[in-house]
Amino acid sequence: MVYVLQCKYEDYGLRRNARVSNSQKGTHGSREVRLNLKGHLPAYSSSLLYYACHGPSCKALEIWQNMLSSFIAVDTCLVVRLIFIYGNMQQDFDMVSRILHDMQAKDAESLPGIYALAVSSFGEIGDLKCMEYMVKKMVSMGYCVDSATGNAYLMYYGSFGSITEMERIYGRLKRSRIVIEEEAIRAVSLAYIKESKFYSLCGFVHDLGVGRSDVGNLLWNLLLLCYAARFKMKSLQREFVRMIEWGFKPDIDTFNIRSIAFSRMSLLWDLEVSLEQMKHDGVVGDLVTYGCVIDAYMDRKLGGNLEFGLRGLDWSDGVRVWTDPMVFEAMGKGEFHSSSEKLMEYWKEGGWSYRKLIHVYLRKKSRSDHIFWNY
């Protein structure tokens, strides 16, 4: 497994891409560290990293001391890589502590950037132990956990930690009055959804405050998803109305969350009203929207009325999926949606429209029913 540490900084400010690859989750064992710097590493820096990785450690320490005693500024990215090697690969936290104290003495202003980048580097590979150590060390040395670091801290616990650990971190950030941002909200929400803890997710959303406009419709959609996943239809409708009253405009996720619930409950009238409102608000449907209507009508043996049910949607449109993947994590995919994705994956050059997909799907269903009745 190859882990890539990317250190791109400007005035020691952290610029990170915090999306975590599922293939990295929970992975341990032998690993290669590929170092990506702006420009090339000086010879002494390369030697330092080599000896830190492979030994002898006394050589690495000698080079490190020479760098500190020189008038040359120590590169922040180099320090983070050194911390990563000693923390994640060598598990030598005494050396990590020494590096941090040395940097505090040489260039204290660089430490916030070093801490932020180190927390992100450990978090991206799910090394919560090292990440936790860095945050505690940061606080013990008199530095405050800023918003970016705090949100990364929570996000990685949401991605790799337990629910209990994640809630503990959230409580700490809440007491510190750190605003939870979108990526951290998504990580926490996904952790709750995977454990089917929709009541807890509902409480988390209310605690953040659904009136926040800086994350768009995310919090409202999560609240609706909590009720839709448990088929609390009255609560679903009540919160949808309240969302509109508060001045939020429903988007494709909002409508599809409701449509999936209506489809699973075979509430054809509610589904039709939702499609009409969707059209009125100028929201274009995707594969999920079409699938909700088709599944609902087919489940009720009303395949002959599909043209009526889909009359407000454009059959000639190219196929697309705009719905947030968290919706599928909570409620799964419908039969038409799943069948269509498999078909499009197999026939990649199909130039698929909804009309073609529906034609193929109905023909397949017809054959299936014919075989069933003959049997």
| Cα→Cα distances 290→75, 126, 310, 327, 333, Å | 54, 38, 7, 16, 12
Domain-embedded: residue 160: no
Mean pLDDT by 10 residues, the chain (375 residues): 36 30 35 36 77 84 84 83 86 88 88 89 91 91 89 94 95 93 96 96 95 92 97 96 95 97 95 94 94 94 87 89 96 94 82 90 73 37
Query: In this predicted structure, what is the pLDDT of residue 350?
Result: 67
Query: In this predicted structure, what is the pLDDT of residue 77?
Result: 86
Q: Would the CA dihedral through 206, 253, 335, 193 be positive or negative?
A: negative
Domain-embedded: residue 268: yes
Which of 113, 143, 173 is the endpoint of a domain? 143
| Cα→Cα distances 202→103, 235, 265, 327, 352, Å | 44, 12, 22, 15, 38
Is there a contact between 72 and 63 (Cβ–Cβ < 8 Å)? no
Domain-embedded: residue 71: yes
Query: In this predicted structure, what is the pLDDT of residue 75?
Result: 83
pTM for the structure as a whole? 0.82
Q: Give yes or no: residues 137 and 22 share one domain.
A: yes
Total domains in the chain come to: 2
d(CA 95, CA 79): 12
Is there a contact between 149 and 131 (Cβ–Cβ < 8 Å)? no
Domain-embedded: residue 199: no
Q: Would the CA dihedral through 55, 8, 174, 25 be positive or negative?
A: negative
Owning domain of residue 21:
1-143
Q: Give yes or no: residues 2 and 125 share one domain.
A: yes
Q: Would the CA dihedral through 347, 349, 353, 355 be positive or negative?
A: negative
Query: In this predicted structure, what is the pLDDT of residue 21?
Result: 34
Query: In this predicted structure, what is the pLDDT of residue 331?
Result: 95
Domain-embedded: residue 8: yes
Domain-embedded: residue 300: yes
Domain-embedded: residue 296: yes
Output the six-digit token pair for 337: 């949606």
d(CA 27, CA 194): 19
Domain-embedded: residue 260: yes
Q: Give yes or no: residues 9 and 135 share one domain.
A: yes
Which of 143, 168, 184 is the endpoint of a domain? 143
Strands (E) across the chain are located at: 2-6, 9-10, 13-14, 32-36
Query: In this predicted structure, what is the pLDDT of residue 7?
Result: 42
Is there a contact between 277 and 314 (Cβ–Cβ < 8 Å)? no
Which of 143, 159, 187 is the endpoint of a domain? 143
